[in-house]
Copies of this chain bind each other. A is one copy, B any other.
Amino acid sequence: MALAKGSLVMVEYESRAKGGEGTIETTRGAGGAHSARLVAVGEGWVLRGLDTALAGMSVGERRSIEVPPEGAYGARDPKKVRMIPLRKLGEDAEKVTVGDEIDLDGRKGTIRFIGSGRVQVDYNHRHAGKAIVYEMHVVRELTGDAERASAIVDRGMEGIGRGTAAALSGETLEVSIPESLFRAEGLQAAKQSIRRDMFRFVPAVRRLRFVEEHLAAPPKPTATRAEFLAAGASGDAGQARKAPGAAAGLRPPGQYRAP
- Contact surface of A with B, Cβ cutoff 8 Å: 182-183, 187-188, 191-192, 195, 199, 203, 205-217
Give Cα A43 to B208, complex, Å.
38
Residues in B with CB closer than 8 Å to A213 are: 207-210
Interface contact A207-B199, CB-CB below 8 Å? no
Which residue from chain B places its CB closest to the CB of A171 in the assembled complex?
B216
Q: Are B182 and A188 in contact (CB under 8 A)?
A: yes
Q: In the assembled complex, how far is the CB of residue A179 from the closest CB belonging to chain B, in whole angstroms?
A: 10
The 8 closest A-B pairs by CB, nearest first: A208-B214, A210-B212, A206-B216, A199-B216, A195-B214, A209-B213, A183-B188, A211-B211
A245: min CB distance to chain B, Å: 29
Residues of B within 8 A of A188 (CB): 182-183, 187
Contact of B205 with A216 in the complex, beta carbons under 8 Å:
yes
A218 to B195, CA, bound (A): 15
Chain B residues with CB under 8 A of A208? 213-216
A216 to B197, CA, bound (A): 11
What are 7 A-to-B residue pairs whose CB atoms are below 8 Å? A182-B191, A199-B216, A205-B216, A207-B213, A208-B216, A209-B211, A210-B213
